Amino acid sequence: MKASRMFQAAAKTFWVASTTSREILSTIRHYCKKTPTTLRVSEAVSGAGLDTNIKVQGWVRSVRPQKTHLFLHVNDGSSLQPLQIVASSELNNPSLTFGCAVEVTGTLKRSPHQKQPVELEAHQIQVVGECDPVDFPFKIKERHSLEYLRQFPHLRCRTNAFSSLLRVRSEATTAIQSYFKKNGFVQIHTPVITSNDCEGAGELFQVEPSSPESNEDENFFSVPAFLTVSGQLHLEVMSGALSKVFTFGPTFRAENSQSRRHLAEFYMVEAEVSFTESLEDLTKVVEDVFRSATEHVLAHCPEDVDLFHKHVTPGHRETVDSMMKKRFPMISYTEAIDILNRSSEKFAFPTNWGCDLQTEHEKYLVKHCGNIPVFVTDYPYDLKPFYARDNQDHPEHTAAAVDLLVPGVGELCGGSLREERLDLLRARLEEAGLEETYSWYLDLRRFGSVPHGGFGLGFERYLQCILGVENIKDVIPFPRFSHSCLL
């Protein structure tokens, strides 16, 4: 009898537990059905979450109220293409304007229209951040020029053109990092603050404490310190132990220029390769980086690139396709001067052997070679910094240096073999009065030195080249140049 009661009690307990579990599971299923899945606009547009309850968050790009329905385009920056929202006119309210931030919940459905694959049938629209369309500097039906957008560095990311630029810039960064990783390069974080002037041009920003308590007669670092103009010398240090190294970061030049080609702060891709005595080894890496990054961008940002090629620089896609189909030719500096002197073009700057190539010369050479990138090698020795390798080819006397010239921009990349011969390097530093300053650099040649070389590629100029953007200030989020440092 006692055993029977115990069995009944256990059975009842089991039944209650099972019932409770079923109720919990039922509640969870009900909750999951009611709770929308948050998707990015790019995911929703691609069809993810079709016929399910979803939520998107973004900014309104267009508002079209009708008698019974309300149509919105919402974008969150994940793609150029917005998501169309279809709602009852009852969900409209005065705060729902161009530029405002919203959260929209509804069911994602296939669209009956060919212009968009899907649309969101909204159940709820919440305005998260209001936007006064009268005061907002961008208007819904106007296509603003890049020059106009430049006036609003804090707002221009809200436009299609600049958000496309930022996505292209992000993908290009990923592609460059990926190329170096796949090809055995080690990334080095070179310092932003340095005591070196790599370029030797004196165009430096000096770093000093802003505190009024600091002693003006003493340097914070005990030596004069500057914002870096290049990570090259630090990469050369690392190339004494790691045969392939690169860096990708900001560099600074105190050039008093507001031209379309110059910035005070910009990004550089720099690499050093040990155990090489050939400029061709360097040019191969440069060309491979260019092609790899461009192929990646064209494959992953087709709509963003097309926006520039159709609306900013119509016809530029043909130039890009031509660059990708042909190998980059190589000419010497001497051949380049001969081409310039034989042309009928009237140049503003001289084209004598020994003169530095100016932008007008570089662009002419690019057109002469078929409007594709061209390498120019073996520049006059006196035009290049102390670290460039002496070709010892008197009477011309050239250095083993190379520049890559590209359509629409001119010089994109500069590099050289480095002078690894201690006696020649010491003699040149003595001549420039820099032997003591660069005694550590001479040490690199005294202890296990090897033939090596490297290059630096301007990232913003690369973006100008593939997108066809004329002004370098339009391919960087926050441009810094003389007399301008907004934000």
Question: What would the pLDDT profile of 226-241 be if each residue is shown by its tens digit?
Answer: 999 999 999 999 999 9
User: Residue 184 domain-assigned?
Assistant: yes
Quick check: pTM over 0.95?
no
- Give the residue from 88, 109, 129 where a domain finishes: 129
Q: Classify residue 352: in a domain, yes or no.
A: yes
Same domain, 200 and 344: yes
> Which of 146-160, 208-222, 266-280, 383-397 has the weakest average pLDDT?
208-222
For residues 164 and 232, membership in a common domain is answered with yes
Report which of 231, 145, 202 is spatially closest to residue 457, judged by C-alpha positions. Answer: 231
| pLDDT the model gives residue 346 | 93
Of 5 and 77, the structure prediction assigns the larger pLDDT to 77
- Please tell me the predicted confidence (pLDDT) of residue 395: 87
* Residue 295 covered by a domain: yes
- Residue 329 in tokens: 């030719």
Asked if residue 255 and residue 107 are part of one domain, the reply reads no
Domain interval for residue 329: 157-208+220-474
Residue 9 lies in a domain: no
pLDDT at 238: 97
The pLDDT, as a whole number, for residue 24 is 55
Residue 15: its pLDDT value, please? 46
In this prediction, residues 465-480 reach a mean pLDDT of 96
Confidence bin at 211 (pLDDT 50/70/90): confident
| Mean pLDDT of the region 80-92 | 94
pLDDT digits (tens, 9 = 90+) for 425-440: 999 999 999 999 899 9
Q: Above 90 in pLDDT, residue 266? A: yes
Say if CB 230 and CB 251 are below 8 A apart: yes
> Are 298 and 380 in the same domain?
yes
pLDDT for 410 equals: 95
Q: Is 318 strand, coil or helix? A: helix
Q: How confident is the model at residue 28 (pLDDT cuts 50, 70, 90)?
A: very low
pLDDT of residue 70: 95
- pLDDT, mean of residues 59-66: 94
Q: Rounded to the nearest 5 degrees, what angle is found at the Cα of 33, between the Cα atoms of 28 and 39?
A: 115
Q: Specify the pLDDT at position 68.
A: 92
Cα–Cα distance, 358 to 348 (Å, whole number): 9
Tokens read off for 202: 């004196």
Is 485 part of any domain? no
The answer to the question of residue 18 being in a domain is no
- Total structural domains within the chain: 2
pLDDT of 468 over the 70 cut: yes
The chain-wide mean pLDDT, for the chain, equals 91
Average pLDDT score over residue span 153-166: 95
Residue 456 lies in a domain: yes
Q: How far is CA 466 from the centre of its chain?
A: 12
pLDDT at 4: 55
Indicate whether 301 pLDDT > 70. Answer: yes
pLDDT in tens, 370-380: 999 999 999 99
Whether residue 194 is found in the same domain as residue 86: no
pLDDT at 391 over 60: yes
Q: What is the mean pLDDT of residues 355-365?
A: 96
Q: Identify which has the larger pLDDT, 225 or 182.
A: 182
State whether 460 and 420 are in the same domain: yes
pLDDT at 200: 55
Local confidence band at 16 (pLDDT 50, 70, 90 cut-offs) = very low
371 with 267, same domain? Answer: yes
In the chain, the N- to C-terminal Cα span, in Å, equals 86
Q: Lowest mean pLDDT of 37-41, 110-114, 176-180, name the range.
A: 110-114
Least confident window among 248-257, 316-325, 330-339: 248-257
> Do residues 433 and 243 lie in contact, with contact meaning Cβ atoms separated by under 8 Å?
no
Mean pLDDT on 303-326: 95
**380 and 453 in one domain?**
yes
Place of tokens 């931030």: 101
| DSSP string across 137-169 | SS-TT----HHHHTT-TTTGGGSHHHHHHHHHH
Say yes or no to pLDDT of 9 above 90: no
**Contact yes or no for 100/131 (Cβ under 8 A):** yes
Interval 97-117: pLDDT, tens: 999 999 999 999 998 887 889
Q: Are residues 368 and 235 in the same domain?
A: yes
